[in-house]
């Protein structure tokens, strides 16, 4: 039942984003594609794990986006190391000023943690959800993004800080 609920939530988010795209395709003329690269700290039962995270997204309207992310472990604990993680998310952003945005996101996440020193592996698939902020100086495609994401698949809290660029 849990996987069914996850797939249903992902389908609803994807459908809403696709339906909104034609209705307001004129709203977003430049900068529809964006990329982030940064560091993510995962607080898990296997300890605090660090990861290099990359995201690629598409902004359908001023408010709705879809993004995919991939993380690879760069910092491990005594009990485990992040092998990799990936996710697909729907994202809703609200501009507060022309250069500052708050957003929420939800989607599907898979995380693979390799056990160390006699501890077992911890792998999972589940819901990821969270919120964040993004700042882009006026007239540039570059910015900074900070966010929190709750990963239900491995019962973890993820904090991320990344540089962002729009194309």
Which DSSP string corresponds to 31-97? --EEEEEEEEEEEETTEEEEEEEEEEEEESSSSEEEEEEEEEEEE--SSEEEEEEEEEEEEEEEEEE
- Residue 95 maps to a domain: yes
The pLDDT score that the predictor gives to residue 26 is: 39
User: Is 112 inside a domain boundary?
Assistant: yes
CB neighbours of 77 closer than 8 A, spacing ≥ 6?
46, 47, 48, 49, 116
Residue 6 has pLDDT above 50, yes or no: no
CATH of the domain at 96: 2.40.160.20
Quote the number of domains for the chain: 1
Q: What is the pLDDT of residues 71-83, one digit of tens each?
A: 999 999 999 999 9
Q: Can you tell me the distance from the alpha carbon of 151 to that of 124, in angstroms, rounded to the nearest whole number?
A: 9
Instruction: Report pLDDT digits (tens) over 15-66.
Output: 444 444 444 443 445 669 999 999 999 999 888 999 999 999 999 999 999 9
In a domain, 113, yes or no: yes
Assigned domain for 9 exists: yes
26 lies in a domain? Answer: no
Any domain includes 85: yes
Q: How many CB atoms lie within 10 A of CB 23?
A: 10
Q: What pTM was computed for the model?
A: 0.81
**Phi, psi of 69, rounded to the nearest 5 degrees:** -140, 155
For 133, the token pair is 């902020």
The answer on pLDDT for 7 being more than 50 is no
Asked, for residue 28, whether it belongs to a domain, the answer is no
The length of the chain is: 167
Lookup: tokens for 70: 């991939």
Please state the φ and ψ torsions of residue 33, each to the nearest 5 degrees: -100, 135
Q: State how far the Cα of 14 lies from the Cα of 126, in Å rounded to an integer.
A: 16
| The predicted structure's pLDDT at residue 29 | 52
Which is nearest to 42 in space by CA: 162, 153, 151, 121? 151
Q: Which domain holds residue 156?
A: 2-20+33-166
Listed residue (110, 100, 28) closest to 68, CA to CA: 110
27 within domain boundaries = no
So what's the pLDDT on residue 139? Answer: 74
């Amino acid at each position: 039942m849990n996987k069914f609920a996850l797939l249903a939530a992902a389908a609803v988010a994807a459908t809403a984003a696709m339906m909104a795209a034609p209705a307001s395709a004129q709203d977003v003329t430049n900068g529809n594609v964006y990329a982030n690269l940064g560091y993510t700290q995962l607080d898990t039962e296997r300890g605090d794990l660090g990861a290099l995270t990359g995201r690629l997204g598409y902004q359908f309207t001023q408010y709705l986006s879809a993004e995919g992310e991939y993380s690879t472990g760069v910092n491990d604990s005594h009990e485990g190391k992040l092998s990799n993680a990936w996710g697909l998310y729907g994202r809703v952003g609200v501009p507060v000023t022309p250069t500052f945005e708050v957003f929420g996101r939800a989607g599907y996440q898979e995380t693979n943690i390799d056990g160390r020193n006699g501890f077992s592996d911890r792998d999972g698939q589940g819901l990821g959800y969270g919120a964040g902020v993004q700042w882009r100086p006026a007239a540039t495609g570059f910015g900074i993004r900070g966010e929190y994401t709750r990963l239900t698949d491995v019962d973890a809290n993820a904090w991320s800080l990344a540089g962002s660029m729009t194309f």
